[in-house]
Structure 1
Amino acid sequence: MAKLLGIFACLVIVGLDVVAGILGIRAEAAQNQEKHLRLWIFECKEPSHDAYVFGLAAGILLVIAHVFANLLGGCSVCTRDEISKASPSKQLSITCLVFTWIILVVGLSMLVIGTMSNSKKRASCGFTHHHYLSIGGILCMVHALFSVAYYVTATATLP
């Protein structure tokens, strides 16, 4: 029964992250359909409401997947001595946890920057901000890999 629960948990985490990734990529596609004028490194573009909605949904799903993976995997914070004396699987678990946090911060930042650029009512001009939403979407999918690795290694080290 515990094995079935673990498989279900992994599928939910992967599902949330993959849907978030697809929404991030769709947000980028919706943003690219809007009118824009580019002059060297400056760009004027119309905001896209669809890109805003897709980007917001992708960010929310990424956070939900991260919280879900951390709650199921158990947030174990150790001291440096405990980490050095821990088994290799426990060290791998902590490494995966650190990577999930790094990917969350970078991916969510990308999604927020791309989403906020589409939240305005009128055209904005400034430096070019290309591919933030699609990079954030791809990082959502990478987050799925490290979250599942974290969950599997964290539950494998439980007594």
Structure 2
Amino acid sequence: MATKGRLCMAILALDFCAGMLAIQAQAVENKAKRVAVMFLRCKDPVYRAYHLGLAAAAFLFVAHAIPYFLTGCGCIYYSRQDMDSIRASINRKLAVFSWMVFGVAFWLLLAGAMSNTKNSCWFIHFDTLAVGGNTCFIHAVITIAYYVTATAAAPEFA
């Protein structure tokens, strides 16, 4: 039980660090020099925001990988009898939702980081790093819920 609590705290800390790094990267990017030409907004690359965005994506990846490696992603391998269980159903839904939130957050963090590698001009300025950072906080809650349900359901199905 103590190990489960420590692991949940580690997942929470990693996702929190990812979110804070992404928000910090967005703040650094917002301080960059911008030029507005008619409808276009152009900006110079901000390499510090690039590095912070990549670090946030790496933290998010590790926070997502830990519970799935430790549980073996057993939600996929349940037999037909086990699918009738309410816990198995909730566990599967949390796993799918966790993967979806991870995909959105990871894509936003990488897109925000990559937008800081070269000069770019857009019609609209997107705060992809900030949105990705906030999505990391949502990912923490869902992934911890998945890990708790996966480890609680594991003794029943063994």
TM-score past 0.5 threshold: yes
Question: Helix, strand or coil for the counterpart of 1:62?
Answer: helix
- Worse-matched range after superposition: 142-151 or 33-42: 33-42
Conserved in 2, the CA contact under 8 Å of 1:23 and 1:55?
Answer: yes
Conserved in 2, the CA contact under 8 Å of 1:38 and 1:44?
Answer: yes
Conserved in 1, the CA contact under 8 Å of 2:54 and 2:110?
Answer: yes
Per the TM alignment, residue 126 of structure 1 is displaced from its structure 2 partner at its CA by 3.0
Structure 1: which 5+ runs fail to align? Answer: none
TM-score of the aligned structures, taking structure 1 as reference length: 0.89
Question: Helix, strand or coil for the counterpart of 1:82?
Answer: coil
Per the TM alignment, residue 50 of structure 1 is displaced from its structure 2 partner at its CA by 1.2
**In structure 2, C-alpha distance between the alignment counterparts of 1:144 and 1:67, rounded to whole Å:** 12
Conserved in 2, the CA contact under 8 Å of 1:73 and 1:150?
Answer: no
Conserved in 2, the CA contact under 8 Å of 1:17 and 1:143?
Answer: yes
Structure 2: which 5+ runs fail to align? Answer: none
Per the TM alignment, residue 84 of structure 1 is displaced from its structure 2 partner at its CA by 8.1
Q: Which residue of 1 aligns with 2:19?
A: 21
Structure 1 segment 32-47 matched on structure 2, within 5 A: 32-39=30-37, 41-47=39-45
Question: Helix, strand or coil for the counterpart of 2:7?
Answer: helix
Structure 1 segment 109-148 matched on structure 2, within 5 A: 109-120=107-118, 123-148=119-144
Q: Which residue of 1 aligns with 2:68?
A: 70
TM-score of the aligned structures, taking structure 2 as reference length: 0.90
- Cα gap change, 1:83/1:61 in structure 2, threshold over 3 Å: closer, same or farther? farther
Number of residue equivalences: 154
**In structure 2, C-alpha distance between the alignment counterparts of 1:23 and 1:40, rounded to whole Å:** 32
Per the TM alignment, residue 83 of structure 1 is displaced from its structure 2 partner at its CA by 8.2
| Paired amino acid for 1:106 | V
**In structure 1, C-alpha distance between the alignment counterparts of 2:152 and 2:141, rounded to whole Å:** 16
> Which stretches of structure 1, 4 residues or longer, exceed 6 Å deviation after superposition?
none
Conserved in 2, the CA contact under 8 Å of 1:27 and 1:51?
Answer: yes
1:31-62 per-residue CA deviation (whole Å, 9 max, x = no partner) reads: 00001123465210011111101100000110
Per the TM alignment, residue 14 of structure 1 is displaced from its structure 2 partner at its CA by 0.6
- Worse-matched range after superposition: 9-18 or 33-42: 33-42
Identity of aligned residues (%): 37
